[in-house]
Amino acid sequence: MSVMLETSLGELVIDLEVDKCPKTCENFLKLCKVKYYALNAFFNVSKDFIAQTGDPTASGTGGESFSSYLHSLTNSPPPPPPRYFPPEIRTSLKHVIKGTVSMAVAPTEPAGCGSQFFITLADKIEYLDGKHAVFGHVIEGLDTLDRINDAFLDKEGRPLQDIRIRHVEILEDPFPDPPNMIPEPPSPIRPPDAASRDVVRISDEEDPLAQLAEEEAEALRRRTAAASSALTLEMIGDIPFATVRPPENILFVCKLNPVTADEDLELIFSRFGKILSCEIVRDKKSGDSLQYAFIEFDERESAEQAYFKMQNVLVDDRRIWVDFSQSVAKMNGSRGEGYGMVFDEPRKRSRSPRRDRERDDRRERDRDRSRERHRERDRDRDRDRDRDRRDRDRERDDRRDRDRRDERDRDRDRDRYDERDRRRDR
């Protein structure tokens, strides 16, 4: 007996335990038949735990059994049936596999089940065994559960973009309808919790980029991704602030000849304007040129002229490449209104000696941690190698002992056969 739930993230096919939980399955099937679950939201999602739905109010306190709901619609004579029915908790049905479907048991006295149910999002959640009534399993749509599990949530555990049950299809219903069964209602067009919501959420059908052209949507995605990356870099301290831009008066020059000196390069580029600094980046230990440099001009216009004029120019028998600097890793605002690059070589240009010391100490600690990790990895590798060697030696000794036992058995059999032959000859 199966039911298919069509959600906003995909389909879920649930196989019901009709024989073991007849009352629970009948209640669930009849609620599905009267479209009680239509447009219900998954209002409680816990990553790698459960996804809960079945409450029209999406508050966790709503919902009722089918008999109570039917009584409220048909104005049946009193007394009204109870809101909840006793849970059918079976010891043979446990929350051991992903996709287990259980009725949420209300903390009333006595405890009861209404319409709320949940689906497990991971294996082996034994914590729920004996507390909630298992009545089915998801047999198709585990990828849909993965998408629900990956949804972004608010602090209350509800997805920021609504995940709703759009449609319910009963594949097989073995239970007869009650005499006062209402005819099948039309599908609702408005979520049942729309009037009670005090927080504006993204609709399950809403796509913020759907109204844009493909090029505009892609550009917006890239800008959003870039802004997110910049904010992340600011948070971890790689850039001073998220909206920082590369300086427009600094050129990056590469493919230099190793023999080119700072003074020579500065002399060549000084024809375009006043140069504040011209430094070839060198190896800290050897002092050898790394064949690229940063040239800081006094004005942006001078940098632009040098960019257009010096591209692919021959300097010391090398064709150089010139571009605007894209680095904002180290900024120094001490020079007027512009930003200057802080290089590793000239320590005197640093803004704060204390910051230099802290940076050096931090780098030294990082190197110590890295060396310790390498040593620990080497020790683990040696331990694994020794363990493998002991295992091989033990296996070799066992094999030798087994061979010796087999040899003794063969000798014993040979002696027995020889003795039998001698007796036969006599």
17 and 150 housed in the same domain: yes
Is residue 28 in some structural domain? yes
Quick one: tokens of 234?
Answer: 């600011």
Is residue 337 in some structural domain? yes
328 φ, ψ (degrees, to nearest 5): -125, 20
pLDDT attached to residue 379: 86
Neighbours of 231 (CB within 10 A): 13
CA 123 to CA 359: how far, in whole Å?
Answer: 46
* pLDDT single digits (tens) 202-220: 666 656 555 567 777 778 7
Is residue 38 in some structural domain? yes
313 and 164 housed in the same domain: no
Among 351, 385, 401, identify where a domain stops. Answer: 351
157 and 270 housed in the same domain: no
pLDDT attached to residue 35: 93
Angstrom distances, CA of residue 90 to CA of 19, 87, 134, 400 = 11, 9, 7, 54
Cβ atoms of 167 and 37 within 8 Å: the answer is no
Q: Read off the amino acid at residue 104.
A: A
User: Mapping DSSP to helix (H, G, I), strand (E, B) and coil, where does residue 101 land?
Assistant: strand
Among 287, 320, 351, identify where a domain stops. Answer: 351
> Does residue 243 have a pLDDT over 70?
no
- CATH number of the domain that 157 lies in? 2.40.100.10
Is residue 212 in some structural domain? no
143 and 14 housed in the same domain: yes
66-74 vs 22-33: helix axis angle to the nearest 10?
Answer: 40
Domain span including residue 317: 250-351
Angstrom distances, CA of residue 169 to CA of 1, 11, 214, 283, 393 = 12, 10, 35, 70, 63
* pLDDT single digits (tens) 298-318: 998 999 999 999 999 999 888
16 and 162 housed in the same domain: yes
- CATH number of the domain that 255 lies in? 3.30.70.330
Is residue 278 in some structural domain? yes
Structural domain count, the chain: 2
Which residues, at least 6 apart from 152, have a Cβ–Cβ distance to it below 8 Å? Answer: 159, 160, 161
CA 4 to CA 19: how far, in whole Å?
Answer: 19
Is residue 157 in some structural domain? yes
User: Mapping DSSP to helix (H, G, I), strand (E, B) and coil, where does residue 162 land?
Assistant: coil
CA 304 to CA 247: how far, in whole Å?
Answer: 12
> Does residue 233 have a pLDDT over 80?
no
410: Cα separation from own chain's centroid: 63
Is residue 232 in some structural domain? no
15 and 163 housed in the same domain: yes
24 and 125 housed in the same domain: yes
pLDDT attached to residue 355: 67
> Does residue 30 have a pLDDT over 90?
yes
Among 297, 329, 351, identify where a domain stops. Answer: 351
Is residue 122 in some structural domain? yes
Mean pLDDT of 149-170: 92
> Which DSSP category does 178 fall into?
P
pLDDT attached to residue 208: 58
Q: Read off the amino acid at residue 117.
A: F
Residue count of the chain, please give it: 426
pLDDT attached to residue 265: 92
